[in-house]
Amino acid sequence: MKILLAVDGSDHSYEAVRALKYVSRAEELHVAHVLDVPTPAYPMMMPEVAQEIYETLECNMREDGNRLLDRIVSLLPMDSGPVTRHLVAGSPAEQIVSLAEKQQVGLTLLGTRGLGPIKERLIGSVAHRVLTFAPGAKMILPGPLKALSQILLPLQGAEDADQAVRYLQQHPFREPPTITLFSVLPHTRPPWPVDAASAEHMETHALRRAEEFLNETAGTLSAMGYQARSRAALGTPVEAILKEAKGLNADLILLGSRGRRGMTRMVLGSVSHAILHQATYPLMIFG
């Protein structure tokens, strides 16, 4: 698997570097730093002067960027894979997505400082845009990945399960973690009148069906060398997932993209984006 590690010099970038020790050795490891060079915008400034200022800023930032890449490469975990450095100028999100597409990476890894949902809706964030547009899997780290022994894998149906099995067949982690398969069912009642006992019976039946489905998927993962267990619960997806992750003391939340791409995901939103906003857990999106 080819991996793209995007760094910006923040503490979160160094957490992304340390997280490499938990993922499988890269076939190619691309380490990228994007220079977001500000464009001078003073009134009445002559274009020649503005260009000279821009070039001076870019030159200085390139020197700093090369030093950062030297530092990052020196800190890479042992046996991370053959390394290629990239120092490019432009919009960080656009350049990271472009590199991921050009190098055909299977995993893009980055830390995120977070803007909060309101500011992000106005200007976007690197993590949000990479999550939306980059190919392959994405691992977003809002904090340190201290271990990778407990993974929470929410599933919403057979399509999610098949997608998860295909991804985990690639053995993306160095050591097989324990995976908790989790399904969230909404509190629903049929459109016709029904008493409380009947409604409870229907919910219990739905939970039993969900657990049977999860147990079948857990068996498939166990045959692949993972320790797998399953649980179903009633509730709303994001709240239930975060509650389960807390109770499990999960190291990582692993989610499928469920096929949404581009503007569809950006406009409609998704569970993965909501968790990115609300959680402090490392998040990996595949699919």
**pLDDT (average), residues 52-67:** 84
- 167 and 269, same domain (yes or no): yes
Q: Residue 251 is part of a domain; what is its CATH number?
A: 3.40.50.620
What is the bridge-based pairing of β-strands 252-256 and 283-286?
Answer: parallel
Mean pLDDT, range 62-91, rounded to an integer: 94
The 8-class DSSP code of residue 32 comes to E
Whole-prediction pTM: 0.84
In this structure, are 178 and 227 located in the same domain? yes
Angle at 17 between CA 12 and CA 18, to 5 degrees: 95
56 pLDDT higher than 70:
yes
Task: Look at residue 68 in the predicted model and tell me its pLDDT.
Answer: 95
Judge if 10 and 115 occupy the same domain. yes
Q: Strand (E) positions, the chain?
A: 2-6, 28-35, 83-89, 107-111, 137-141, 150-154, 178-185, 227-234, 252-256, 283-286
Averaged confidence pLDDT in the chain: 84
Range name among 50-54, 97-101, 207-211, 248-252 with the lowest pLDDT average: 50-54
- Residue 205: the pLDDT is 80
Please give the structure tokens belonging to residue 285: 């999106």
Query: Are the beta carbons of 160 and 217 closer than 8 angstroms?
Result: no
Looking at 141, 171, 202, which one is the last position of a domain?
141
Helices 126-133 and 271-278: crossing angle in degrees, nearest 10, is 160
Give residue 234's domain range: 150-286
Whole-number pLDDT of residue 167: 95
pLDDT value at 15 more than 70: yes
**42 and 112 part of one domain:** yes
Is 50 exceeded by the pLDDT of residue 115? no
Identify the band that residue 120 occupies on the pLDDT scale cut at 50, 70 and 90.
Answer: very low
Tens of pLDDT, residue by residue over 219-241, are 999 999 999 999 999 888 899 99
As for how many domains the chain has, the answer is: 2
- Regarding whether 125 and 60 lie in a shared domain, the answer is yes
* Statement to judge: residues 252 and 206 lie in one domain: yes
Alpha carbon 139 to chain centroid, angstroms: 3
- 159 with 269, same domain? yes
Strand order in the sheet with 252-256: 83-89, 28-35, 2-6, 107-111, 137-141, 283-286, 252-256, 150-154, 178-185, 227-234
Residue 161 CA to residue 218 CA, distance in Å, equals: 10
Kindly indicate the confidence band of residue 190, based on its pLDDT and cuts at 50, 70 and 90: low
